[in-house]
Amino acid sequence: MTWFVTVNDRTLEVTRDGDAFVVDGVRVPATLVRTPGRAELRLTLDGRAVVLGLDGHSPSGWRVMHQGLLHEVRVEDERTRELRSRAPVPKGAGGPVQLKAPMPGLVVRIAVREGEQVQAGAGLVVLEAMKMENELKAPRAGVVQGIRVNPGQTVEKGAVLLQLGDV
C-alpha cells in the first residue's frame, strides 16, 4: 500500500513493505509505540529511537512535533487523494489583504490612518506581547481601509487589525 504524505506543498510517497516502509527507494524498518492519551511518540527507525510529539490534528492532518517544530502532516491513500484533487479549488487571492495579529497582544499604536497609501514594509500597527513591542508591517503596498482596532485594545491571535486595499 502506498501513502501520500503531504506537508505544506511537498508530498512524499511512502510504501508499506512488511514491517518496513520504502521511501525514495530505500527500505526503512519502522515501528511506533505510544501510550494512549499521551502526546509522546516513540518511533524506532531502522533501530534508531526517536522521540516525537503528537499535538492532536487539524483539518490539514496529524500535528507532529519533531526537533522543536510542528508539522501538519496529511496522510492519504490513492483514493482519498484522488477525491481531494477533484474538489473545487478556492479562487486565488485578490482584492483587499487583511492584516492579522500574529500573536495575542495589546495594540500600542496605529501608525496609519484610514485611506492612507502605504508602501510594502511600512509599519502599520505596534502590538505589545510579553512586554516587547512588535511592529507589524505592510505585506504589500496598498490603501489602509478599515481599521478595526484601537490603541489599548487586547486582541487574540488571528484577529483582523485592518485591511489593505488596492491602490
Partner 1 sequence: MTPPITRVLVANRGEIAVRIIRACHAEGLEAVAVYSDADRHAPFVALADHAVRLGPAPSAESYLRIDAILAAAKDMGAQAIHPGYGFLSERAPFARAIEEAGLIFVGPPSSAIEAMGDKTAARRLMQAAGVPIVPGAVQPLSDPAEAVEVAQRIGYPVLVKAAAGGGGKGMRVVHDPADLAAAVTSASSEALKSFGDGSVYLERFVERPRHVEIQVLADHQRTVHVGERECSVQRRHQKVVEEAPSVAVDAALRERMGAAAVAAAQAVGYRGAGTCEFLLADTGEFFFLEMNTRIQVEHPVTELVYGVDLVREQLRIAQGLPMTLPHGPLVPNGWAIECRITSEDSANGLLPSSGVIRALTVPEGEGIRWDSGVVEGSEVTLFYDSMLAKLIVHAADRPAAIARMREALDELLIVGVATNVAFQRRLLAHPDFISGAIDIQFLDRHPELLSTSDTAAIPIEVALAAVLLEEEHRQARRNAGEAHAARPSRWGTALE
Put the strands of the sheet holding 154-155 in their side by side order.
Answer: 132-137, 123-129, 105-110, 154-155
CB 147 within 8 A of CB 153: no
Closest CA to 116 of 144, 146, 149, 147: 144
Q: Give the C-alpha separation, 167 to 34, whole Å.
A: 54
Give the interface segment with partner 1, choosing from 9-17, 91-99, 114-122, 138-146 (CB under 8 A).
Answer: 9-17
**Closer residue to partner 1 (CB): 7 or 141:** 7
Give the interface segment with partner 1, choosing from 90-98, 113-121, 128-136, 141-149 (CB under 8 A).
Answer: 128-136
Residue numbers 77-106 binding partner 1 by CB under 8 A: 80, 102-105
Of 90, 95, 130, 152, the residue at the interface with partner 1 (CB under 8 A) is 130
In whole angstroms, how close is the CB of 160 to partner 1 at the nearest point? 17
Give the interface segment with partner 1, choosing from 8-16, 86-94, 112-120, 145-153 (CB under 8 A).
Answer: 8-16
Does the footprint of partner 1 cover residue 120 (CB under 8 A)?
no
Site size with partner 1, rule: CB under 8 A: 54
| C-alpha grid cell, residue 30 | 519502522
CB 142 within 8 A of CB 97: yes
